[in-house]
């Protein structure tokens, strides 16, 4: 089974109170939306090291060699600046530190697996705040991030993906005739050299795509693994099976190739 480093899918929730003309603020909770995926992966036998988004800012490994302690890196709903920049006094240091985007690419090229998952702060995201367009990581994804101000497609009515290749190792053995509903996704374009496994939405946009980069593998999912876009996904009976197969494929345990 794989060693997985899972970063993102969290928020620090703050409250602003107004009592008459008095104002007070406080931290209400730390919201870990990644509990669903972590639980599923651990139940399947994988070892998961969890980094909430604010923890990743401090502790995401800085080099390909440090990342190589893990078979698979999951980046989900986590912004460019959180991954790229460094906290505290390091922000003013020259140089600040290794370019973690380039190190993630080097990690994959040397045999690591990368799962890149959608949300408000991956791809371009909410009013462009994800800001992954044009980055080194964007160049190795099996879908093309678009230079849009906001690439979110909200589907409050729910939308189901349409599977193109149910025999690929990531998809095999799952009854795709009853896929989960998704409440939204990030709009992208497919890449010609990638395996496009599923589409979604009125424009048949990419939903799941994968490919090889050097000695490693990359999987992109343009919706979220957690609420709110993925609220139906986490309740889907085959959520654990899908992610187990995805991780096993990314780590090299399951076969390569176009099926």
pLDDT tens figures, 60-89: 999 999 999 999 999 999 999 999 999 999
Token pair for 43: 């139940």
83 φ/ψ angles, rounded to the nearest 5 degrees: -80, -40
User: Helical H runs in the chain?
Assistant: 35-43, 53-59, 64-67, 80-84, 100-109, 136-140, 239-250
Peptide bond into 26 cis (omega under 30): no
pLDDT truncated to tens, each residue of the chain (259 aa)?
A: 999 999 999 998 888 888 888 887 877 788 899 999 999 999 999 999 999 999 999 999 999 999 999 999 999 999 999 999 999 999 899 999 999 999 999 999 999 999 999 999 999 999 999 999 999 999 999 999 999 999 999 999 999 999 999 999 999 999 999 999 999 999 999 999 999 999 999 999 999 999 999 999 999 999 999 999 999 999 999 999 999 999 999 999 998 643 3
Q: Radius of gyration (Cα) for the chain, nearest Å?
A: 18
Instruction: Note the pTM of the prediction, 2 decimals.
Output: 0.95
166 φ/ψ angles, rounded to the nearest 5 degrees: -80, -5
| Cα gap 90→68, rounded to integer Å | 24
Q: Is 88 left (phi over 0), alpha (psi -120 to 50) or beta?
A: left
> Interior CA angle at 217 toward 212 and 218, to 5°?
95
Token pair for 132: 């992954």
Q: How far is CA 57 from CA 14, 111, 226, 244, in A?
A: 19, 24, 20, 27
Partners of residue 50 on adjacent β-strands? 6
So what's the pLDDT on residue 102? 98
So what's the pLDDT on residue 16? 82
So what's the pLDDT on residue 256? 62
| Cα gap 23→76, rounded to integer Å | 34
So what's the pLDDT on residue 14? 83
Helix axis angle for 239-250 and 35-43, nearest 10°, is 70
So what's the pLDDT on residue 48? 98
Between β-strands 205-213 and 188-190, what pairing exists: parallel, antiparallel or unpaired? unpaired
So what's the pLDDT on residue 13? 85
So what's the pLDDT on residue 259? 33
CATH 3.50.50.60 is held by the domain 3-18+26-250: no
CB atoms within 10 A of CB 133: 17
So what's the pLDDT on residue 22? 86
DSSP letters along 29-74, please? EEEETTHHHHHHHHHTT-EEEEE-HHHHHHHS--SHHHHTTSSEEE
Query: Cβ contacts of residue 229 below 8 Å, gap of 6+?
Result: 118, 119, 182, 183, 184, 185, 223
């Amino acid at each position: 089974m794989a060693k997985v480093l899972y970063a993102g899918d969290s928020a620090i929730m703050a409250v602003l109170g107004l009592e008459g003309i008095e104002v007070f603020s406080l931290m209400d909770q730390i919201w870990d939306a990644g509990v669903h995926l972590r639980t599923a992966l651990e139940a399947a036998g994988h070892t998961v090291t969890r980094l909430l988004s604010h923890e990743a800012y401090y502790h995401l490994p800085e080099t390909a060699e440090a990342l190589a302690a893990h078979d698979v890196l999951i980046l989900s709903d986590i912004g460019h600046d959180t991954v790229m920049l460094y906290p505290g006094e390091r922000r003013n240091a020259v140089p600040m530190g290794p370019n973690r985007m380039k190190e993630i690419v080097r990690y994959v090229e040397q045999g690591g697996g990368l799962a890149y998952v959608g949300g408000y702060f991956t791809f371009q995201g909410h009013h462009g705040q994800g800001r992954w367009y044009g980055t080194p990581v964007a160049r190795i994804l099996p879908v093309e991030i678009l230079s849009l101000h906001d690439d979110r497609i909200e589907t409050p009515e729910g939308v189901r993906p349409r599977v193109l290749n149910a025999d690929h190792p990531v998809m095999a053995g799952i009854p795709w005739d009853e896929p989960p509903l998704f409440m939204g996704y990030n709009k992208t374009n497919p890449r010609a050299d990638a395996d496009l496994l599923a589409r979604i939405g009125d424009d048949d946009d990419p939903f799941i795509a994968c490919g090889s980069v050097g000695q490693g593998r990359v999987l992109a999912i343009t919706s979220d693994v957690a609420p709110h876009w993925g609220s139906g996904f986490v309740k889907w009976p085959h959520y654990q099976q899908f992610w187990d197969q995805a991780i096993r494929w990314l780590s090299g345990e399951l076969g390569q190739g176009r099926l």
